[in-house]
Structure 1
Amino acid sequence: MENLTNFGEAWVRAWNSHNLEEILSHYDEDILFFSPIIKKINNDPAGCLRGKENLRAYFSKALVAYPDLHFELYHILEGVNSVVLYYKSVKDMLSAELMVLNEKGLIAEVRAHYK
């Protein structure tokens, strides 16, 4: 659990820093990413993207769209090769992100949920 706690805390610090390269350092090149925010930011009804370069473009847009972005981590839930981060997201929305980790400890898949 300690490694997953460190992972979750580092992920939140990266986002709160607004440093795109630091944020992207947590993701695999072949990332599969699902989020309702993709529908809004990318105007994409599928809400899904694949690949780190597409993720880079999306995160760049998101950082511009939410310049005051600040995440507050509430809980880290451990799974089998996965973690769920439960946190306060943009506009004070609650978020839970299921992150599947690969053998390199990088995020290979994300399923983001918001309330």
Structure 2
Amino acid sequence: MDFDRLAETWYAAWNARDLDAIMALYADDVRFTSPYVRTLEFAADGTLTTKFDLERYFALGLSKIPNLHFTPVVNCISADSHTMVYRNQSDAWVTEMHEYDGHGMIVRVVASYAGSPA
């Protein structure tokens, strides 16, 4: 699997603010964990388990953050996953670990942020 190409595609979709292109990267049975899932009261445990909920969560983020932009720092590659390290529009450090299925679709995400999410 070409994790560098997958990361480039992911950044391009997000930086274009193209929700359809973003959602096309995720499997139907995706599991997405982020402290902001809890902060925004989508799930008390911080994990979304349906693509429908993930799309609602992403749509809210895009609407609330009009200058949303991610700048890649490094892509750390493992056997079946990678962890992207990037800076967001607020210059905060973020990591996202993505695991993939056999079709190159993201099935698991763990997003982590430097400092405490607001």
- Whether these two folds match at TM > 0.5 is yes
Partner residue, 2:19: 20
Q: Which sections of structure 2, spanning at least 5 residues, go unmatched?
A: none
Relative to total residues, which structure has the larger helix share, 1 or 2? Answer: 1
Deviates more, 1:83-92 or 1:100-109: 83-92
CA contact (8 A) 1:32 1:109 kept: yes
Partner residue, 2:76: 77
Give the alignment's TM-score, normalised by structure 2. Answer: 0.91
Give, in angstroms, the shift of residue 73 of structure 1. 0.5
What RMSD in Å do the two structures reach over aligned CA positions? Answer: 1.3
| C-alpha separation in 1, matches of 2:48 and 2:3 | 25
Deviations 1:5-30 (A, max 9, x none): 11101101100001100011110000
CA contact (8 A) 2:42 2:57 kept: no
> How many pairs are equivalent?
114
Matches within 5 A, 1:1-115: 3-42=2-41, 44-115=43-114
| C-alpha separation in 1, matches of 2:33 and 2:55 | 14
| C-alpha separation in 1, matches of 2:24 and 2:9 | 10
CA contact (8 A) 1:84 1:99 kept: yes
Deviations 1:83-107 (A, max 9, x none): 1000002422101111111111110
Give the alignment's TM-score, normalised by structure 1. Answer: 0.93
CA contact (8 A) 1:41 1:61 kept: no
Give, in angstroms, the shift of residue 43 of structure 1. 5.1
Report the identity percentage.
29
* Distance 1:23-1:81 versus aligned 2 partners, 3 A rule: same
Paired AA for residue 56 in structure 2: A
- SS at the partner of 1:92? coil
| C-alpha separation in 1, matches of 2:39 and 2:61 | 10
| C-alpha separation in 2, matches of 1:13 and 1:111 | 20
